[in-house]
Amino acid sequence: MADQAQRSWLARKLESAIRRGFMRAYHQVRVDPARFLMQLRSAHGLPISGYEGVFQVDLRLLDSVAEETIHNSMRLAAFQGAGFGLGGALTLVPDMSLMAAITLRTIQKLSLIYGFGNSGSPPPAPPVSTSAASLSKKNSSTSLCRELFSASQCPPAPR
């Protein structure tokens, strides 16, 4: 009985220490949304004053910014991997840690590019296209669902 209580105390302490370590690491590598917004506006010329404005920007422009962000992250990861690869197995742990940090930052940047910031509020609903708005009342909900989501997620069309 005492062994079980000791083990659960030890497990809780270990879990707590790991969680604190991950949170400290996250705070070191996370992307600052305000700073990244300034970078998006200056480097890419996006006409936005906040992440809510991203939903008004042409998707092709956002895609090109995202592609450039991915390309830059891949280049950084390649240089980092090549540098640490020279160290062989001795540098495996730092190499994996830096790769995880690069990946985490890339995911955060991509979410911010498309307007999914860390504000906690959900993004606005997608705009209804004119073709979906002009559909008859009978088929509008099914067609709109098929336009916005995959067909497997929508109910069958009414007969």
Residue range 133-155, pLDDT digits in tens: 444 444 445 555 556 565 555 66
Q: Quick one: 144 exposed, middle or buried, by C-beta within 10 A (0-12, 13-18, 19+)?
A: middle
pLDDT at 2: 55
pLDDT at 74: 95
Q: Give the amino acid at 102.
A: I
Torsion sign (Cα): 15, 20, 25, 31 = positive
Sequence ranges of the domains in the chain: 31-117, 129-159
Crossing angle, helix 92-113 and helix 2-29, to 10 degrees? Answer: 60
Q: Quick one: 109 exposed, middle or buried, by C-beta within 10 A (0-12, 13-18, 19+)?
A: buried
Which tokens is 8 given?
């659960």
Residue range 10-69, pLDDT digits in tens: 888 888 888 888 788 778 888 999 999 999 999 998 888 888 888 899 999 999 999 999
Determine if the pTM surpasses 0.95: no
Give ∠ CA 145-149-154 in degrees, rounded to 5.
50
